[in-house]
Amino acid sequence: MIREVLNNYNEYQKPRGGNPLTKILVRGVIDAEADQWVKHRKIINPAFHVEKLKHMVPAFYVSCSEMLNKWGETLNKESSGEVDVWTYLSTFSADVISRTAFGSSYEEGRKIFELQREQAVLVMKAAQSVYIPGLRFLPTKSNNRMKEIDREVKASIKNIIDKRVVAMKAGETSNDDLLGILLDSNYKEIKQHGSKYGLSIEDVIEECKLFYFAGQETTGTMLVWTMILLGHHMDWQKRAREEVLHVFGDKKPDIDGLSHLKVMSIIFHEVLRLYPPALLLRRMIHEETKLGVSKATKGHATYLPFGGGPRICIGQNFAMLEAKMALAMILQRFSFEVSPSYTHAPHSILTLQPQFGAHLVLHKL
């Protein structure tokens, strides 16, 4: 039944209504339906091809190296110490998406994502409050700040896009980051089939906002729950480290080696089963619909950390590659265990997060 619902995305669409302010955070392909979704997905797909992702691995490495250096500085000259890794992992994943989305405009991209992070907190507060129609038009402090952030984010992204478009028209190539690939794909679609088949500047802006939400929130939470579980299950941590050292030794991880980390893949799949970043998928019908014969069968629809059907998460390969790079580098440099001060409290904000942080005792290797 689940598989049928997810495969027939035109009959079972995402719910509409609710607090309109929640739409201010992210729209794009994740929110589009029917023909609009097909158009968005077709243009965005090239940005997440495996061949394109290979060029983003260096950005994963640089961001993770910076994070691990900070862990080392936090421990100072001590060989071990307690660190709340959640704050670092959250910043790391935002850092990665800033580099991979905007490339040379990395610093400007980082400012955008910091604003989006603030926006996420405000949106969640709005979503959890009682919705009163018309309330969004009142000049409350929260409403004003949300609209101010939205204007600032859109203006900043448009500025980056405008510079890229000018460069593209001048013959410069800039397709080594997500924005560059997206603009190139969009330009080709418009050139071949006409402007109505391409994305508007407003559409591109919304996709860039989606890069942050999907890229930062999901990978950061996947990594933090992985470290917490490996901090409890030291035998599996040992197995994962032995595999990493067998494949890479103390050398820089590369994309070919990452694909051979079978134990790590098993660990990530189990973590995603226990602590999926998104807790639920919602669908609704708009007309009377019949489901097929119900059978209790073993199938892929029992495991849905990235959704399923044609609308399965477009960035799942990106997320898994980033997470593998990060965990491989962590295991090369540190062993870790859960601190006595850690409080286990999974908490759903926009994704499933550790409410009181992830306090681990790190040991330098």
Q: Which two tokens stand for residue 259?
A: 């694909």
Taking every pair of C-alpha atoms in the chain, what is the biggest distance, in angstroms? Answer: 67
Whole-angstrom Cα distance, residue 89 to residue 359? 12
Whole-angstrom Cα distance, residue 243 to residue 268? 14
Contact residues for 55 (Cβ-Cβ < 8 A; gap 6+): 176
Contact 339, 85 (CB under 8 A): no
208 labeled binding residue: no
Whole-angstrom Cα distance, residue 77 to residue 73? 8
Quickly count: other Cβ atoms within 10 Å of residue 351's Cβ. Answer: 21
Rounded to 5 degrees, φ, ψ at 201 are: -60, -40
Quickly count: other Cβ atoms within 10 Å of residue 288's Cβ. Answer: 5
Rounded to 5 degrees, φ, ψ at 164 are: -65, -40
Annotated binding site for heme: 313
Annotated binding site: 313
